[in-house]
Amino acid sequence: MFHHVQGLTPGVQAFAEQLRAAGHTVHTPDLFDGATFATIEEGMAHARSVGFGTVLERGVAIAEDLSPELVYAGFSMGAMPAQKLAQTRAGARGALLLHGCIPVSEFGERWPDGVPVQVHGMEADPFFAEEGGDLDAARELAASTDQAEVFLYPGEEHLFTDSSLPAYDAAATALLMERTLAFLDRVGRPAA
């Protein structure tokens, strides 16, 4: 489970702990070497200075030491390595893309057969629904395969699943967690 641009925050860790409490093995690699940021803008500045390509490749490299039979998950920026691994690493069990989705064409011609995917975001989130094109990419993904589900939640917060941030929405996160756990149960309780 790859963190968002503000780093491996306590809220990302808490989300992972909820999945662990439900019986799942969850890896939470730190793509920022311990750095966390108070705002999305500060985190974006750091990611730009490191290079988004470098962040992506760090995520891909971390997975090399793990079994390929995983559900790859990511929050916002972390959806980038999660999606690439789900699309390109043989054996993927699925993908959970929270607050982000990249056009499938970035990592291949089409979404791989037999790899279910869920995309979650808020319907008025400016990063997900507007400027980044993530919602458009999610809809295109869903139109291209019967393996994809897109869930939209009312609101405009970006990182609404991170309980350590002001954007946290407990009700939306509870519903997202319910859907996530059902998804993981359907794909055979693999590691996330």
pLDDT digits (tens, 9 = 90+) for 139-161: 999 999 999 999 999 999 999 99
Q: CA of 148: how far to CAs of 23, 118, 158, in Å?
A: 24, 6, 21
Q: Output the pLDDT for position 192.
A: 46
Does residue 2 belong to any structural domain of this protein?
no
Does residue 24 belong to any structural domain of this protein?
yes
Per the structure, the count of domains in the chain is 1
Of the CA atoms within 13 Å of residue 54, those in its CB half-sphere come to 9
Question: What pTM was computed for the model?
Answer: 0.94
Q: Output the pLDDT for position 36.
A: 97
Q: Output the pLDDT for position 190.
A: 45
Q: Which ranges of the chain have pLDDT less than 70?
A: 189-192
Read off the CATH number of the domain in which 91 is found. Answer: 3.40.50.1820
Does residue 191 belong to any structural domain of this protein?
no
Does residue 80 belong to any structural domain of this protein?
yes
Does residue 4 belong to any structural domain of this protein?
no
Q: Output the pLDDT for position 130.
A: 85
Residues 6+ apart with CB under 8 A from 2: 29, 31, 59, 72, 73, 74, 75, 77, 78, 79, 80, 81, 82
Q: E-assigned strands of the chain?
A: 71-75, 94-98, 117-122, 148-153
Residues 6+ apart with CB under 8 A from 184: 19, 22, 24, 71, 94, 190, 192
Does residue 5 belong to any structural domain of this protein?
no
In this structure, what DSSP letter does residue 131 have?
I
Q: CA of 156: how far to CAs of 106, 121, 141, 153, 172, in Å?
A: 26, 9, 22, 9, 11
Does residue 192 belong to any structural domain of this protein?
no
Q: Which range of residues forms the domain containing residue 56?
A: 10-186
